[in-house]
Structure 1
Amino acid sequence: MVRTLGVLNDVGCFFLAFLLTIIFYELTIGEYYDGQIHQSAAIILTINFLLIRTSRDGYAPFKGQGEDVGGAAMADFLLATTLTILVVMQLGRLAEFSLGLSLLFTSFVIILLFLSRIAFRRLAYILMQRGFIGQRVAVYAESAKLAGKVTQLINLERLPHLRMLGYADERQQKNEVTDGMVHLGGFSALLDLARTGQLDQVILAVPRISQSRLDEITEALSAASIDICILPRETLELSTSYRVNYLGSLPVFAVWQQPMRDIDGLLKETLDYVLATLALLLLSPIMILTALAIKLESRGPVIFRQIRVGFNNNEISVLKFRSMYADLGDVSGVKRTERNDARVTRVGKFIRRTSIDELPQLFNVLKGEMSLVGPRPHATMMRVGDKFYFDAVRGYAARHRVKPGITGLAQVRGLRGEIATTERAKQRVEYDIYYIENWSPLLDIRIMIETIIKIAWDKDAY
């Protein structure tokens, strides 16, 4: 059903885009055009796009947040557009096309494909809640803690079509609730759910199980009509994202890969420089007024510099508007900023709350030290509880495989501001690593838009 809805969604985007194009063109430009030839080209373009998406398995069920913003769909649309233009050129009909109408159509298609992929997830969630689509999933794990870890990783993927029923282990008692997970009972209870048609998929998270016991479990479950998945031990580690690649026909675990390689790296650099330059031009009046306000309220420099950890664990000097009294500021980052912190000035409270204090980091972006979107850079001596960040969170260094950002996925997912507990620190690192492994230009744009919206009511910034 997900595949079918995906195809219908894209066909609807092309159809609606064509209608909007005709209406907008008639109301604005109004010049003569050959409607028949433009309609035929739109149909050919739609077919090309659907064939390319299908050949690339673009309508597979949800694979996670990285896909929902449509980066691959945009690339497929550009390829389909190129192929359609070549077909038209071969037929010798290119001169008969209206450039304005064609540009309007492609623009409307891109916008609708992008927006529909965000709305599509919401639609799938509603259909799942009403029982039309979805998979009922249970986890068979060694412990409640490990089952909670599996659920946390699945929730991070933001897959609305999965409904977690709970977890089972070797114990027999039922209906316990641990970390939000319902205990279904032992393996026999799990098998009963499968046989009575109340379960669609079982995830096995038993990294230390013997091969003979694993064979028994899979053989027993295979008698029921359900999906059986084994979650490898490596995927439960936060240090990296494991993927299955192929060397020829040989499947292997790719335990470490360079993120944002080749054209992706160039695309992100270009996006950073262009948008950072535009932001500086547009926001320069606010930055000038902020500098004057800081200078008038308290003595000291307008800019606060702090050494933080950047790309490849190299140290960089991060710029911020000074928000504390000059003699009370902490360059090392050992002391966290707390709510109602006496060190913060009146101007500082406002600019921290609205994130205006971060605007000088646009110069860090232009210097090539930072990106607009990425894991937030931390001070070298930053602590979580009584431990340094890199000691408190396993796999912490993996977030430095890309340039740090002014904003990031963790910040728009509710992890902005003070991180006082190890659990919240781990969640932030999980989001950072997920962003690295699922980057796309449209994901960056989405995070920037969400950041602007988030600033309006975020209570965690102070």
Structure 2
Amino acid sequence: MLNVSEGQAPPTELRSRKYRFTSNVIATIILGVDLLCLVLGSLLAPLAYELILGPRYFIEQHVNVAVLVGVNFFLIRLSRNSYAHPMGRGGDSDQAVAFEFLLAALLVFATIWQLGQAKPFSSGLALCYLGLTAALLFVSRFVVRKLVWYLVQAGHIGQRIAIYGADLASSERVLRLLELERLPYVTVVGIADDRTTRIEREAPWTVPFIGSLDALVYRIAQGDVDMVIIALPMISQARLDQITEALQRVSVDICLMPREALDLSQQYSMRFIGSLPLFALWQRPMRDFNRILKAIEDRAVAILGLILFSPLMLLTAIAIKLTSRGPVLFRQERFGFNNVKISVLKFRSMYVDRQDESGAERTVRGDSRVTPVGRIIRRLSIDELPQLFNVVTGEMSIVGPRAHATRMKVGDDYYFEAVRGYAARHRVKPGITGLAQVRGLRGEIATVERAKRRVEYDMYYIENWSLMLDLRIILETVWRLIWDRDVY
């Protein structure tokens, strides 16, 4: 809580003038690390192979192939703009680097085989090269994140951002979007606005209020701000010109957060139909090959889960049957892909004469409707295991936005009425677990604010999906099952 006062005096103390790099240098670091991994993989693979089988290969041909694989690798990464968003999207966006390397190698090896030149090459050495280099690239992402974190803490890398526009909703939206990215080098130094008379004396800011535009210019002149984000969704051109002219007097990056990023989607982009330019606000997620990868992942994990958990599921079914009357499974109508209603399976955790199939009545702590066995299986999420059958049939995914009951409420309103843009979360299949659940929003959602945050995480997941993000969520789900105390 900050006491905001009009005409707040600007800071008078000058800060340390240690030279600081912006986030642009991180892309260069990542590119250099990729090159180093390719070189190390090429050097270590022959050594590893010699230790196993001895020097049974022609080194010159393998060096040439390694160079071709490296060129293809960088071409693929540049074509996918893999260096455009360094460490963005929570650090998950670049975990596909090992897959991109294997794809580059596959293209080169397929070409060599098609030309009939594969005979002189050692398959064992090729496997050593592929395995070592892919492992190096994969591990390098975690090393780079630690390195960047160290450089940030030492003050060598940093992006200090100020938000201009003290509209509470817009400012909080920008702060939440930055929080979702989880960028270690970003620091929000404060919020500025000339409309100080419209700002409450004790506005609930989570960051300091800098003051007017002049105060912001002064802070920039002292070297305290690297970027200004103008977050005024309904700003006029005249007002925008006035703000930018004032900020042009000092050295700072000036960015405008479009209304579409504040109110709709942050993944908007320019697209073309022929030569006709279009402003794309929404994109179909998980399209083309990503859709196939997601389907393979879901079926494989679901079948494996059914095999591993079948004894536990059998014991749970017996415990439910012996301790309370009624069926073992509970079916509930929920929203699925494209807002089509699906029947979701769960182990029954409530007394059969007290359960609510509509989902309108929330489950609260100490709920008398929950059976003794139900409390245990709900706490450990064992009641969700039958949804693996929903995944096998293609109605659900392992990871995705949680499937909500059609009549689920937040406060006095239905979920889809209380949260703007709620229906957009159904552009993908619902999941047994999701990003919101591993970010502290598992269990009861009693307030509209928590409901909005859950939907924001769902939208972030949809627009930034990757296999590595799914794997990360699955591992974090296991961890949460052990330590989470907010489920009942």
Name the TM-score, length of structure 1 as normaliser: 0.91
What are structure 2's unaligned runs of at least 5 residues? 1-24
SS at match of 1:289: helix
Aligned to 2:72: 48
Matched, 1:392 2:418: yes
Q: Deviations over 1:243-266 (max 9, x none)?
A: 121325665421222222222222
Aligned to 1:220: 246
Residues in 2 aligned to 1:176 and 1:88: alpha-carbon distance in whole angstroms: 69
Correspondent of 2:129 among 105, 110, 130: 105
SS at match of 1:180: coil
Residues in 2 aligned to 1:243 and 1:355: alpha-carbon distance in whole angstroms: 36
Residues in 2 aligned to 1:80 and 1:240: alpha-carbon distance in whole angstroms: 32
Aligned to 2:15: none
Deviation at 1:339, TM superposition (A): 2.0
Matched, 1:428 2:454: yes
Aligned to 1:287: 313
Correspondent of 1:442 among 445, 465, 468: 468
Matched, 1:348 2:374: yes
Worse overlay, 145-154 or 73-82: 73-82
Flag the 1:56–1:405 CA change in 2: closer, same or farther, 3 A. Answer: closer
Residues in 1 aligned to 2:470 and 2:55: alpha-carbon distance in whole angstroms: 38
Flag the 1:399–1:100 CA change in 2: closer, same or farther, 3 A. Answer: same
1:162-201 to 2 correspondences below 5 Å: 162-171=186-195, 178-201=204-227
Residues in 1 aligned to 2:158 and 2:176: alpha-carbon distance in whole angstroms: 19
Aligned to 1:244: 269
SS at match of 1:343: coil
Deviation at 1:445, TM superposition (A): 2.1
Matched, 1:127 2:154: no
Contact 1:207/1:233, CA 8 A, preserved across alignment: yes
Flag the 1:54–1:242 CA change in 2: closer, same or farther, 3 A. Answer: closer
Residues in 1 aligned to 2:96 and 2:191: alpha-carbon distance in whole angstroms: 34
Deviation at 1:452, TM superposition (A): 1.8
Deviation at 1:142, TM superposition (A): 4.0
Residues in 1 aligned to 2:396 and 2:314: alpha-carbon distance in whole angstroms: 22
Aligned to 1:316: 342
Flag the 1:30–1:327 CA change in 2: closer, same or farther, 3 A. Answer: farther
Residues in 2 aligned to 1:92 and 1:311: alpha-carbon distance in whole angstroms: 47
Flag the 1:340–1:188 CA change in 2: closer, same or farther, 3 A. Answer: same
Residues in 2 aligned to 1:354 and 1:30: alpha-carbon distance in whole angstroms: 52
Aligned to 1:157: 181
Correspondent of 1:4 among 12, 18, 28: 28
Q: Deviations over 1:387-436 (max 9, x none)?
A: 11011100000011111111111111111111111111001101111111
Name the TM-score, length of structure 2 as normaliser: 0.86
SS at match of 1:411: helix
1:5-154 to 2 correspondences below 5 Å: 5-17=29-41, 21=45, 25=49, 32-35=56-59, 37-54=61-78, 56-62=80-86, 64-65=88-89, 68-70=92-94, 73-74=97-98, 76-85=100-109, 88=112, 93-154=117-178
SS at match of 1:429: helix
Worse overlay, 184-193 or 275-284: 275-284
Aligned to 2:11: none
Flag the 1:61–1:259 CA change in 2: closer, same or farther, 3 A. Answer: closer
Contact 2:95/2:468, CA 8 A, preserved across alignment: yes
Aligned to 1:376: 402
Whichever residue aligns with residue 246 of structure 1, its letter is R
Flag the 1:188–1:451 CA change in 2: closer, same or farther, 3 A. Answer: same
Flag the 1:197–1:107 CA change in 2: closer, same or farther, 3 A. Answer: same
What are structure 1's unaligned runs of at least 5 residues? none
Matched, 1:328 2:354: yes
Whichever residue aligns with residue 434 of structure 2, its letter is G
Aligned to 2:22: none
Flag the 1:422–1:12 CA change in 2: closer, same or farther, 3 A. Answer: same
Residues in 2 aligned to 1:97 and 1:293: alpha-carbon distance in whole angstroms: 59
SS at match of 1:138: strand
Aligned to 1:255: 281
Residues in 2 aligned to 1:31 and 1:17: alpha-carbon distance in whole angstroms: 17
Flag the 1:350–1:26 CA change in 2: closer, same or farther, 3 A. Answer: farther
Q: Deviations over 1:114-172 (max 9, x none)?
A: 34334433432332222111211100014244222211112112222211111101156
Deviation at 1:15, TM superposition (A): 4.4
Matched, 1:360 2:386: yes
Worse overlay, 252-261 or 222-231: 252-261
Aligned to 1:406: 432
Flag the 1:76–1:100 CA change in 2: closer, same or farther, 3 A. Answer: same
Contact 1:305/1:331, CA 8 A, preserved across alignment: yes
Flag the 1:178–1:264 CA change in 2: closer, same or farther, 3 A. Answer: same
Instruction: Tell me how many residue pairs correspond in the alignment.
Output: 461
SS at match of 1:304: strand
Q: Deviations over 1:11-46 (max 9, x none)?
A: 343345456655665666668444554455334423
Residues in 1 aligned to 2:486 and 2:51: alpha-carbon distance in whole angstroms: 47
Aligned to 2:14: none
Worse overlay, 12-21 or 258-267: 12-21
What RMSD over aligned residues (CA atoms) do the two structures have, in Å? 2.8
1:290-301 to 2 correspondences below 5 Å: 290-301=316-327
Flag the 1:31–1:242 CA change in 2: closer, same or farther, 3 A. Answer: closer
Contact 1:136/1:198, CA 8 A, preserved across alignment: yes
Q: Deviations over 1:178-234 (max 9, x none)?
A: 331210011001111222322111100112232212111112212322111111112
Worse overlay, 155-164 or 370-379: 155-164
SS at match of 1:452: helix
Residues in 2 aligned to 1:119 and 1:384: alpha-carbon distance in whole angstroms: 42
Flag the 1:27–1:341 CA change in 2: closer, same or farther, 3 A. Answer: farther
Flag the 1:347–1:265 CA change in 2: closer, same or farther, 3 A. Answer: same
Residues in 2 aligned to 1:66 and 1:437: alpha-carbon distance in whole angstroms: 12
Residues in 2 aligned to 1:460 and 1:35: alpha-carbon distance in whole angstroms: 59
Instruction: Give % identity.
Output: 54
Worse overlay, 163-172 or 66-75: 66-75
Flag the 1:249–1:176 CA change in 2: closer, same or farther, 3 A. Answer: farther
Residues in 2 aligned to 1:229 and 1:409: alpha-carbon distance in whole angstroms: 29
